[in-house]
Structure 1
Amino acid sequence: MNTQRNQVLIERTGICLQLTVPLDPVMWYKPKRALGGPGDISIPSVAAEGFLDFEGELCIVLSRDARDVKVEDASDYILGFTVGNDLTARSYQDPKRSGGQFTRCKAFDGFAPLGPILTNKKTFGAVKDQRIVTKVNGKVFQDSPCDMIHSPETLISFLSRG
């Protein structure tokens, strides 16, 4: 939940999470087996029940390990950017089933396809000037600016603590 578009109710699913924007970034982790490449996505049968959702996301790629990084130094850690598809099995996120937690519903095999291009930070330019376009079977479902609540530098600093 790091873009302005995620502040609104998730209308497509019928699952009301009533998300608000907290002071700290909302985080969840995806296991290594969730990583995948661009192209067709194979959905595990256990994840196919209910509503499968997708969100195009900006992915920040670091050039080295980061520990206790100050916000003002964080850009020195950015190698570049790529795009990802954050897949979510929304039935596993339903508060009646899981309390609304994010990890299980986003952790299935192949639920984090990335790429295919890594753009260095100089070529990429300012995050605020970029757009994320997500297509399903050639049809555009998401076309929005990278309207991040927290800057990449703030996220790097936050995640590097402790």
Structure 2
Amino acid sequence: MASFERIVDEGVLIGLSAARMAVKNHIIVGALREHRDFADADYTAAVRSELVRLATQNEEDAERVGRQRKVLSRQRSAFEITDDDRLHVRQLALRRSVHLKLAGALRAVAADDEQVADLLKRARTDASEEIGAALAARLVEQVVDRREPDYAQRRAERVRVLVNTDLAALMSNRRAGLDSGR
């Protein structure tokens, strides 16, 4: 069995990865759906919030496991407890300790400005790469070959989509910018 510290360290790595992915998704949604510019302060708060959420979840899990351990310990008299039951009680105690230590470690990361900034930087890089890959794939799908037999027929449809969608969105954004005094 892995050492207690190794279990906690791996749990921290998993927690940091989960937080980074959640913030990455938050950045992507903010950029694509809400058309928000990246603001360090907003996403720094999101990193801290996600880390605290994970810490709280581990604290709740520690409480739940502790209750399970107490119930199992009280179910039978000392003479009736099997070796499997004793092992299970010890495992539950270990799990409770791991959850509590992991919660403390995640709260410590949330309080460390440097670690939060590093996690945000990696989340932002991941988001940029994912958005870039999606845009590149979309552009590849839209490549038009003039040699295709239906090129001329579909050209009118492509121009209509450009005018009705892309140019309309540009005009709307421009009007919104003029209305807000930018």
Q: TM (normalized to structure 1)? A: 0.25
**What TM-score, normalized to structure 2?**
0.23
Greater C-alpha radius of gyration: 2
**Would you tell me which structure has more helix in proportion to its own residues?**
2
